[in-house]
Amino acid sequence: MADEPAREEQLQADERWDMEASTDDAVQPYRVSWWLRLRRRSLQILFRGVFHLLCKVKVVGIENVPPEGPYLLALNHISLFDPPLVLSFWPYLPEALGASDLIDRPGISMLMRSYQGIPVHRGQYDRKVIDTALRVLAAGNGLLIAPEGGRSHDIGMRQANPGIAYLVEKTGVPIVPVGAVGTTDDMLKRALRLERPHVEMRVGELFHLPPIEGVGKERREARQRNADTVMLKIAELLPEEYHGYYAGQVTGWPQEGR
């Protein structure tokens, strides 16, 4: 279950988002330089090769990836290895939200600095991050986000934070659910022991969330329901033992081929 102090902080952030949301649509456009696109493509090719070398990789549902944005890629977040897996095998080059503390982690810091994801200070309200995410979507890009707000360090999913529902509320963009399987904390150690662990990226069908209505507590609860809906869509793509907080709530499971 999600950490309660963190959830209370998120609810307080919701209120600040509402109070600070600008009615001025004249925001600075979000642009990605041709040099960064080239560097990202090179990283994608490199890491795709590394994953194939070290692991047995399976990609399911790639036909569900939209040919263009804007949309949110919603991913279950087990470990450090989930985002690199998705970014390596996604057919396009989405923007990505990532924890700022990972910039100082050996190995993963190289990927974050080179890919230039959007740093998020977990547990803190950051209007700049929200504004950047909105600009990314307004520019027609895909944006990778982990609704849980951090790594679970366990295959079982935690409850989502309502932040993803806020982004959808403000933009109306659809969501592509993505399930990562096998990307546990010990994945790299197992790979270096030449075990070649099995990892999967499972892409679900694009969907839309219902509109948010009400004010105050009613509105916050509606956002949480929408965030939980996203996680349930992800859970439909995953084995039962991955459902965690959402165990017993996944009406679309099991699906054929899971």
Encode pLDDT of 93-111 as tens digits: 999 998 766 666 666 667 7
What pTM was computed for the model? 0.86
- Core vs surface per residue 98-124: b (16+ CB within 10 A) or e: bbbebeeeeebeebbeebebbbbeeee
Confidence tier at 10 by pLDDT (50, 70, 90): low
The Cα–Cα gap between 183 and 202 comes to 12
Which secondary structure element, helix H or strand E, spans residue 96, and what is its range? strand 95-99
Closest by CA position to 73, among listed 235, 187, 207, 246: 207
Cβ-based neighbours of 28, under 8 Å, separated by 6 or more: 135
Beta-strand relationship, 198-203 and 71-75: unpaired
The pLDDT of residue 236 is above 70: yes
Helix (H, G, I), strand (E, B) or coil at 132: helix
The pLDDT of residue 257 is above 50: no
The Cα–Cα gap between 73 and 117 comes to 14
Which secondary structure element, helix H or strand E, spans residue 54, and what is its range? helix 34-54
CB–CB of 236/252 below 8 Å?
yes
Check residue 21 and report its DSSP letter. Answer: -
Question: Of the ranges 15-19, 49-53, 122-126, 237-241, which one carries the lowest mean pLDDT score?
Answer: 15-19
127-138 and 4-20 helices cross at what angle (nearest 10)? 60
The pLDDT of residue 26 is above 50: no
CB–CB of 200/132 below 8 Å?
no
The Cα–Cα gap between 71 and 168 comes to 9
